[in-house]
């Protein structure tokens, strides 16, 4: 994958998922800059390139899980189901990459091993595992939020004689579960999607649950010809709704409050929302994430559904033993998850009662005994939002590493820049609303804002942009303040807080103020001449 040509670029972009692809398109095709994408995988797709586990599907509705910057792309592509499956998303991203002729500027199969800011030259020097070093004025990280696999360091893991896989590093050739005794650790969004699919072919599937979780049926279905036509005829309207909504979805959160309606009416609303399915359930009332008593009504409804679906009382009890408010962890969306426990070949182990002691050569040993397994599936999530960034070997001004600067937790201004790292932009970085949002909507906003910023810099002969310490502190405080106004920080073990990775600082990372509000703040910052940032020129230039 080694390429010839100039080793100096205007911009180096790390990652070829939704973010990196669009960033390349804007910098190269709109601004006329010389940009290079460096990508670890051998194809485009980012998160979706790696997450090939059974049942992998997006929880955003497909007609909204697309780039909206081009009507032409929207009209040419056709999604097949209400929620896109992983292979279809990878096909979509390849379609876009080919259509925009992006691949010629993407260096595949290449891992960034370091990115060091050279202050004298005002260049980022980016080294890769193929021994090359390239430089660029701008460094844009587009590495995704859920891309650094978290494989728990359970004692004895490497003594296991069977095979083990993490869902986020799934083999491209797939895994055959036929006739196998499978153990799955983890019941987040990923685990909940994987269970029913693995259960179809495995001899037996044992699910090891540490934290019980809510789940709402996706109510997935093939899209009708009418719907497909409607989506293509109403692009502007859909775009408008996604931009106006808190979470970037193509529907708005209902204005009413939980206790505005009677208990009976509420029950009907929840029943209907359950039938509609997916993340729309959360949009039933506007105070579900603000008022614990209001949230309890949704939580109770969802727990009662588990009891109705799951036949074995003990299993139902363990599945419904949920101790965080609804939607304070990312609410999973499923297709036949709770139903899977009614199969003879699926069983649940509650790790709260009987924790894992170790992994042995034969399987998983809990305080209750040993479960013999042929395959272990780790659906144990990610070192989210910061994991992939901190693996890049980023060194800023005065030799300060990003890891040092973020020792006590990530610190950004608008999620997009860190103090001491001039001209480095972090797409969907910590402090951005991305993970609480329909991701492509957040990505388009970030990428366009960065492209506009770079365009201004190039036009005005600006050499550097970097946020002030005060602006960063102000943003970190604001991120905390808006999170604390919600119930979100109450899920003590969520990856939003970094709590799923041992030793990671506990900081609420995403911006919970809503995508529409965030967009407004970013626009205002730019209009005010990039308020909170320092824009500077090299001396020689400013004298000229």
482, 508 Cβ separation under 8 angstroms: no
Q: Residues 45, 144, 186, 277: which binds ligand NA7 (CB under 6 A)?
A: 186
Which of the residues 378 through 397 are near ligand NA7 (CB under 6 A)? 379-382
Is 493:506 a contact under the CB 8 Å cutoff?
A: no
Residue nearest to ligand NA7 (CB): 188
| Interface with ligand NA7, residue 415, by CB under 6 A | no
Q: Count residues near ligand NA7 (CB under 6 A).
A: 20
Comparison of 82 and 210: residue with beta carbon closer to ligand NA7 = 210
Largest Cα–Cα distance of the chain, in whole Å? 79
Could you tell me how far CA 165 lies from the centroid of its own chain?
Answer: 20
Q: How far is the CB of 186 from ligand NA7 (least distance, A)?
A: 3
Question: Any contact of residue 184 with ligand NA7 (CB under 6 A)?
Answer: no
Smallest separation (angstroms) from ligand NA7 to the CB of 424: 25
Residues of this chain, 195-214, that bind ligand NA7 according to CB under 6 A: 210-211
When the beta carbons of 86 and 189 are compared against ligand NA7, the nearer one is 189
| Alpha-carbon span 433 to 414, nearest angstrom | 9
- Give me the half-sphere count of Cα atoms (radius 13 Å) on the Cβ side of residue 156: 15
Q: Does residue 188 interact with ligand NA7 by CB under 6 A?
A: yes
In sequence order, what are the beta bridge partners of 114?
A: 127
Total Cβ atoms within 10 A of residue 512: 23
Per CB under 6 A, 58 contacts ligand NA7: no
Q: What is the DSSP string of 440-479?
A: HHHHHHHHHHHHHHHHHHHHHT--EEEE-HHHHHHHHHHH
- Which member of 85, 190, 386, 412 binds ligand NA7 (CB under 6 A)? 190
Interface residue with ligand NA7 among 96, 112, 146, 348 (CB under 6 A) is 146
CA-wise closest residue to 207 among 188, 232, 220: 188
Contact 455, 31 (CB under 8 A): yes
Which of 327, 263, 254 is CA-nearest to residue 289? 327
Q: State yes or no: residue 44 binds ligand NA7 (CB under 6 A).
A: no
Residue (50 or 382) nearer to ligand NA7, CB: 382
Nearest to residue 207, comparing CAs of 329, 324, 379, 322? 379
User: Which part of the chain contacts ligand NA7 (CB under 6 A), choosing from 3-11, 107-115, 189-197, 231-239?
Assistant: 189-197
Question: In 245-399, where does DSSP find H-type helix?
Answer: 263-276, 292-309, 313-319, 337-340, 387-390
Q: Return the sign of the alpha-carbon dihedral for residues 378, 222, 59, 521.
A: positive
DSSP state, residue 25: I
The pair of three-digit structure tokens given for residue 444, joined into one six-digit string? 């388009």
48 contacts ligand NA7 (rule: CB under 6 A): no
CA end-to-end span of the chain: 42
Find the shortest distance in angstroms from Cβ 236 to ligand NA7.
28
Name the segment binding ligand NA7 (CB under 6 A); options: 14-22, 127-135, 181-189, 342-350.
Answer: 181-189
Q: Which of residues 482-541 bind ligand NA7 (CB under 6 A)?
A: 493, 495, 500
Q: Residues 103, 330, 446, 519: which binds ligand NA7 (CB under 6 A)?
A: 330
What's the min distance (Å) between Cβ of 312 and ligand NA7? 20
| Residue range at the interface with ligand NA7 (CB under 6 A); choices 29-37, 66-74, 79-87, 180-188 | 180-188
Q: Tell me: does residue 337 bind ligand NA7 (CB under 6 A).
A: no
Q: Which residues contact ligand NA7 by CB under 6 A?
A: 146, 152, 185-191, 210-211, 330, 351, 379-382, 493, 495, 500
């Amino acid at each position: 994958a080694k390429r010839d040509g100039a080793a100096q670029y205007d911009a180096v972009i790390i990652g070829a998922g939704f973010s990196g692809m669009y960033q390349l398109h804007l910098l190269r095709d709109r601004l006329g800059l010389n940009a290079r994408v460096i990508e670890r995988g051998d194809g485009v797709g980012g998160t979706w390139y790696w997450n090939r586990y059974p049942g992998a599907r997006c929880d955003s509705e497909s007609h909204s899980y697309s780039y909206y910057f081009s009507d032409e792309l929207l009209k040419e592509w056709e999604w097949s189901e209400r929620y896109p499956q992983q292979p279809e998303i990878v096909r979509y991203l390849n379609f876009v990459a080919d259509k925009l002729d992006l691949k010629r500027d993407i260096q595949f199969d290449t891992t960034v091993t370091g990115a060091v800011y050279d202050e004298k030259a005002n260049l980022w020097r980016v080294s890769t595992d193929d021994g090359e070093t390239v430089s660029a004025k701008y460094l844009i990280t587009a590495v995704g939020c859920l891309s650094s696999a978290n494989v728990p360091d359970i004692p004895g893991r490497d003594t296991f004689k069977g095979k083990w896989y993490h869902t986020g590093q799934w083999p491209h050739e797939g895994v055959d579960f036929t006739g196998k005794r499978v153990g799955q650790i983890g019941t987040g969004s990923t685990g909940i999607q994987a269970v029913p699919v693995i259960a179809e072919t495995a001899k037996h599937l044992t699910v090891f649950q540490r934290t019980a979780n809510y789940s709402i049926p996706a109510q997935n279905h093939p899209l009708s010809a009418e719907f497909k036509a409607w989506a293509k005829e109403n692009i502007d309207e859909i775009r408008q709704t996604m931009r106006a909504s808190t979470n970037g979805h193509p529907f708005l959160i209902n204005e009413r409050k939980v206790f505005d309606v009677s208990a009976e009416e509420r029950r009907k609303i929840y029943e209907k929302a359950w039938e509609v399915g997916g993340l729309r359930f959360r949009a039933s009332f506007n105070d579900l994430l603000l008022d614990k008593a209001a949230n309890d009504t949704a939580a109770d409804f969802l727990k009662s559904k588990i009891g109705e679906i799951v036949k074995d009382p003990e299993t139902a009890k363990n599945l419904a033993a949920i101790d965080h408010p609804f939607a304070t962890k990312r609410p999973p969306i499923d297709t036949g998850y709770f139903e899977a426990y009614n199969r003879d070949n699926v069983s649940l182990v509650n790790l709260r009662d009987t924790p894992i002691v170790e992994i042995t050569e034969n399987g998983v040993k809990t305080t209750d005994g040993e479960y013999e397994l042929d395959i272990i599936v780790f659906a144990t999530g990610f070192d989210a939002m910061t994991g992939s960034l901190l693996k890049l070997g980023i060194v800023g001004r005065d030799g300060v590493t990003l890891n040092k600067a973020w020792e006590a937790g990530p610190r950004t201004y608008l999620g997009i820049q860190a103090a001491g790292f001039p001209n480095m932009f972090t797409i969907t970085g910590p402090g951005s609303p991305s993970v609480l949002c329909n991701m492509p909507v957040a990505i388009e906003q970030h990428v366009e804002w960065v492209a506009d910023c770079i365009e201004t810099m190039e036009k005005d002969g600006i050499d550097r942009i970097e946020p002030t310490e005060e602006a960063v502190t102000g943003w970190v405080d604001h991120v905390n303040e808006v999170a604390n106004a919600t119930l979100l920080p109450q899920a003590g073990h969520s990856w939003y807080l970094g709590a799923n990775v041992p030793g990671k600082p506990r900081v609420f990372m995403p911006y919970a103020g809503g995508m529409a509000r965030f967009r407004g703040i970013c626009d205002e910052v730019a209009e005010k001449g990039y308020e909170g940032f320092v824009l500077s020129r090299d001396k020689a230039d400013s004298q000229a």
